[in-house]
Structure 1
Amino acid sequence: MAETETEPLYCIGCGAQIQTTDPNAAGYTPASALEKGLAAGEVYCQRCFRLRHYNEISDVRLTDDDFLKLLTQIGETDALIVNVIDIFDFSGSIIPGLHRFVGKNPVLLVGNKVDVLPRSVKRSKVRRWLQEQAHAVGLRPLDVLLTSAKNGYELDDLLAAIDKYRAGRDVYVVGVTNVGKSTLINQIIKRTTGTQDLITTSRFPGTTLDKIEIPLDDGRELVDTPGIIHREQMAYYLGPKDLRLVAPQKPIKPKTFQLNSEQTLFLGGLARFDYERGPHTGFTLYLDNNLLVHRTKLSNADDFYERQAGKLLQPPRPNELAKFPPLARIQFTPKVKSDLVFAGLGWITVPAGVTVSGWAPEGVAVTIRPALI
């Protein structure tokens, strides 16, 4: 390991301990680059350097045991837990069992990416909905706030809430990968110190590899933690060029399809929606604006997917098709107006009393929930 005379060095982009011996391990940087970094006063590992300057990603991942150890350590501290979730992908951005790990520590729930919701959606309703969803999975947050790490929406309100609820304690910021956690912390650093883009961020899962500790004015710390791997997210089945389709950057423009029973919608080649039984009715889709939707008859759907996956139905791209899992089906007949959710991709609003099926790659969650909009 590379060290100063008194203590180890850590990458200021991802938190990994700097080392100059193993190019395939976290924290690697060539000795020559390390010398330049020390002279400039900022040390990045090679992985962060390439990601920041060339948008290249090296496949360095933490194990499930690493994340379990991290969560256990958080429960043993006396701190405020700031749980960042992706409003666009609530079910795919909840940390499974978080309420069991945080112990007695208070939790502040922060709904990020509020800017991608349609502008007509009332923010007060979104906050209430998030509170209800959190309670349903066992979380009892002190408060729920909405923000946009991308544009700093209501950042001052968030900073005030953190200062209020931490009561002189450390702050741990936790979340699954791709919720915008490190981008949000960069906004906080920029607002409070003027330093820009200190922590490495990207659409790639697992960018932060170890805890990054940022000092607060009172001697306490704001701690950015590695994104928890949530294996039910669609992002883990997409190539780098298509990650933008599961991380919308602009407000979603809902699309409504009028369907008869026994019709199918393909969401690219990533997922499938079957309207099995019910009257002629409309279904509204909330997806990235660039994801193409194709309609066909239910009776032709299997054959259509077999012929067109990787061709007309993209993503997956042709060179990724061999590794793409088969689509698995789950059927629902909701009793009230509901959202059929494809974790990490989007959702379709379904009226009460009809029978529908959602198909997604094996391992990606398909669930039903009370309608958000």
Structure 2
Amino acid sequence: MTREERTRIKTYYDREQYSKSNLSKNMPGLFDGTVEIFNPIRDIVKALSNTALKDLGIENEKLKEIWEINQMTTFSKKIAKEMYLNEEVFVEVILTPDDQIRYILHNVDDVEYTEVFGEIKKFKVEGEQVYFDDNGEEQGREYSREYIKLDTGTVKRIEKIDDDTVESPFILDKIPVSKFKNDSNIIEALNIIDKINETECYIGRIFGIHGDPWLHANGVKQFADVNSSNSKIKKNAQLLEEARYKNKRIINTQNSKEMEASFKYIELTNPLISEMQNDIARLEKRLSNLFPEYLLVDTATQNVSEETYLLKNNGLKTKVASFREDFIKSLLETDKIALELSGSSDELTENDYTYFDTFMENEKSSKLTTLSLALDVISKAKDIDEEYKLKKLIEKVTDDTLQDLSGLYD
């Protein structure tokens, strides 16, 4: 994903894609009257991250403390959002002067890095550092922090604040940065959204023409002229100026053969609105096929809808599982660095992470429901079988009794 694509995606997430400065960066040839009517980008991102990371937890006690310091419930969702929108982001782990472990999120466009066979060999971030001076006033200063993995296997850290540069060996033999990456296809949604909004605006214009139709005026010059010496023609011009339709759009054509004006409203006899609406439905269907997570959002409440989990959508299940797997893989690397920096020797694996897998839980629930129904059927069948046996026994006793009774009267 290029920087330009990431910038464009962000305008859709921020709902600024049709501002004057951004309109030309969208779908080529987009109608310049297009405004936002439909834009599910935020909903798509929210649905995927909330579903994939629902009730995310960790079994390690030390990491529970670190997670609490870094407010991981919120921070993990922020990582997931940026990971989906930008395709990749970086999380740096630092040890503060008061011995706290902090996670810092870096946008891919704010860093320089070199990666060799999946290992980050060089990482540099630049920005402005905000601090408070002796008078308690907020100040800003330029800073940069760089890590370099040396051939000796050690890591050198270079920190620069304004013109002061400090180089020092880093305490770990690895650069304390993890890359969170996902093969995001969110860029594919943008042109579809543009086309839907463009068509919606065309429909709006058509309705506008019907509600406020154009007026065709023919021969107006001869019929009404405010500068005419003919009092009738001059009066007609005054009446025309005062008419209800004076502010309407008028298409004026001259006809020298006719001395009287004619007026007619122009209305569309076949506006193709139904075809346009069908096209919108087709595009929305295509969007939901590309982004099955879009189906998770309740458009009325903007919340993730539990009911849609029951949909048998393998594409949705696979996408959520893949996103979660990518996220936890990178989070595992981040948390391992955090444990090392904190002096902990605890082993950590992906099995130490917990989360609520909605699809699995619904499958379990579905199986339990099926089993319960099966047991109910078996129980009823057993009752029927017992009733059948009892009926046969009664019939046999009745037959035997009748035979005995008949023998008494023979």
Kindly indicate whether structure 1 or structure 2 has the higher relative contact order, using CA contacts under 8 Å at least 6 residues apart: 2
Which has more helix, going by share of residues?
Answer: 2
**Fold match, TM over 0.5?**
no
Structure 2 length-normalised TM = 0.22
Q: Which has the larger radius of gyration?
A: 2
